[in-house]
């Protein structure tokens, strides 16, 4: 396994939540970084049942005066524990690590997240910075960046990914009492994959799946609550042009996207690969922004006339516009959207990521980077 960039949670002795989709390496990170701990795995049926029925039993299982970490793995399986945890933090000074691969039940129940007494952190798929010399673009685009399978053979990775989304999501669907809708949800997953790296139109997806828009909206919420997707809003600060208002949709990992995206005779391989590359870049941006606490929000920019910049990073120290193309060359037409963006926001630094291998310095101050060069230079671009 790899040394992860997530360091901040253990730099002090405060309790914290650690969110992350399954397979991102939360348990492995804890095992290797938290040596002195008591662990309660709430995926184990017996432990889950006991704590849901008698949350007060948690205190009896902790030795008096214990000073190490207490880990409640997958806290969403027994959210009633949070009141007890809160009390033990206040009265006994215990310190907890609360992991979760889904925020859905916590949000749905409106539970107490320790009244702000615990910080919240996230674990993401691997980054190129963590992989270092093991980072291979072709591997990342085909298998994704989940640590469990990054170094596995293609057949093992494919099998894992094919079962990942459906098994994981179907489990949640069953728990939500929506088992009668499994077939519709399967159609939804496929339809959602066609919205990858695209402006999301709920009504269009609803027509494709054949169910009402409200249910489709709930399904997208489910994906996001389970940390399996992102919706990027439009950057509209000080807007000088008419912009669209729909978000763009992305599955959280390029391998998961590849596994649910149908690839038939009529499907465009070039389009699939282009969306995969965008996804990989977004993964890297989100993870580095979080791990280094840059405080940026990530957007995209699109006018009603269709001029689009794929990513806009806006924060206290960064204002970047990033356009992604797979083509091996760049012409003036490719720069049109970035140039328009820079007309409105001359303070921004603009980058074009393309399929070539040369670094180019183009008109209007646009810096053009090859894909490999972008991943190599990104930390410097972000100032970390």
Residue with the bigger pLDDT between 101 and 263: it is 101
Put residue 293 in one of left, alpha, beta given phi > 0 → left and psi -120 to 50 → alpha: left
Closest to 166 measured CA to CA, from 182, 149, 155: 182
Backbone angles phi, psi at 308, to 5 degrees: -135, 140
Give the model confidence (pLDDT) of 105-162 as tens digits.
Answer: 777 665 556 556 678 999 999 999 999 999 999 999 999 999 999 999 989 999 999 8
- For residue 145, the SS3 value is coil
Residue bearing tokens 């009668």? 180
| Percent of residues in the chain assigned helix, strand, coil, to nearest 5 | 45, 20, 35
Mean pLDDT confidence for 57-75:
94
**How far is residue 207's CA from residue 191's CA, in Å, rounded to a whole number?**
10
Whether 45 has a pLDDT exceeding 90, the answer reads yes
Closest to 193 measured CA to CA, from 149, 238, 258: 258
Give the model confidence (pLDDT) of 164-182 as tens digits.
Answer: 877 777 776 776 665 567 7
Percentage of residues in the chain having pLDDT higher than 70 = 94
Which pLDDT score is estimated for 110? 54
Determine contact, residues 277/326, Cβ cutoff 8 Å. yes
Residue bearing tokens 């083509």? 327
Task: Domains for the chain: give ranges and CATH numbers.
Answer: 8-122 (3.40.50.300), 128-382 (no CATH)
Flag the least confident range among 65-69, 222-226, 252-256.
Answer: 222-226
Strands 16-19 and 95-100: parallel
Give the model confidence (pLDDT) of 310-339 as tens digits.
Answer: 999 999 999 999 999 988 988 888 999 999
């Amino acid at each position: 396994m790899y040394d992860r960039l997530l360091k901040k949670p253990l730099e002090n002795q405060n309790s914290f939540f650690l969110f992350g989709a399954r397979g991102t390496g939360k348990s492995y990170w804890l095992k290797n970084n938290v040596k002195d701990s008591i662990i309660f795995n709430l995926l184990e049926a017996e432990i889950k049942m006991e704590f849901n029925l008698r949350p007060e039993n948690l205190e009896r299982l902790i030795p008096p005066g214990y000073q190490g970490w207490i880990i409640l793995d997958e806290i969403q399986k027994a959210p009633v524990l949070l009141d007890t945890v809160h009390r033990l933090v206040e009265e006994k000074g215990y310190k907890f690590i609360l992991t979760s691969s889904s925020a859905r039940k916590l949000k749905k129940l409106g539970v107490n997240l320790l009244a702000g007494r615990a910080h919240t952190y996230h674990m993401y798929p691997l980054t190129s910075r963590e992989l270092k010399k093991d980072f291979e673009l072709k591997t990342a685009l085909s298998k994704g960046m989940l640590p469990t399978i990054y170094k596995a053979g293609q057949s093992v990775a494919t099998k894992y990914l094919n079962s990942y989304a459906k098994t994981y999501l179907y489990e949640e669907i069953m728990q939500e009492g929506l088992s009668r809708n499994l077939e519709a949800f399967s159609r939804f997953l496929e339809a959602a994959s066609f919205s990858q790296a695209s402006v999301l139109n709920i009504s269009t997806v609803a027509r494709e799946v054949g169910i009402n828009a409200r249910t489709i909206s709930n399904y997208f919420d489910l994906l996001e609550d389970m940390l399996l997707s992102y919706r990027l809003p439009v950057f509209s600060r000080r807007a000088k042009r008419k912009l669209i208002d729909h978000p763009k949709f992305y599955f959280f990992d390029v391998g998961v996207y590849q596994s649910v995206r149908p690839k038939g005779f009529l499907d465009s391989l070039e389009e699939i690969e282009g969306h995969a590359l965008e996804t990989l870049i977004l993964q890297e941006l989100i993870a580095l922004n979080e791990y280094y606490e840059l405080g940026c929000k990530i957007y995209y920019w699109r006018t009603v006339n269709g001029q689009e910049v794929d990513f806009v990073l806006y924060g206290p120290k960064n204002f970047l516009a990033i356009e992604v193309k797979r083509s091996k060359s760049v012409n003036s037409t490719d720069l049109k959207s970035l140039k328009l963006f820079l007309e409105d926001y001359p303070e921004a630094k603009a980058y074009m990521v393309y399929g070539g291998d040369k670094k180019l310095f183009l008109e209007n101050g646009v810096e053009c980077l090859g894909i490999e060069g972008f991943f190599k230079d990104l930390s410097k671009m972000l100032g970390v």
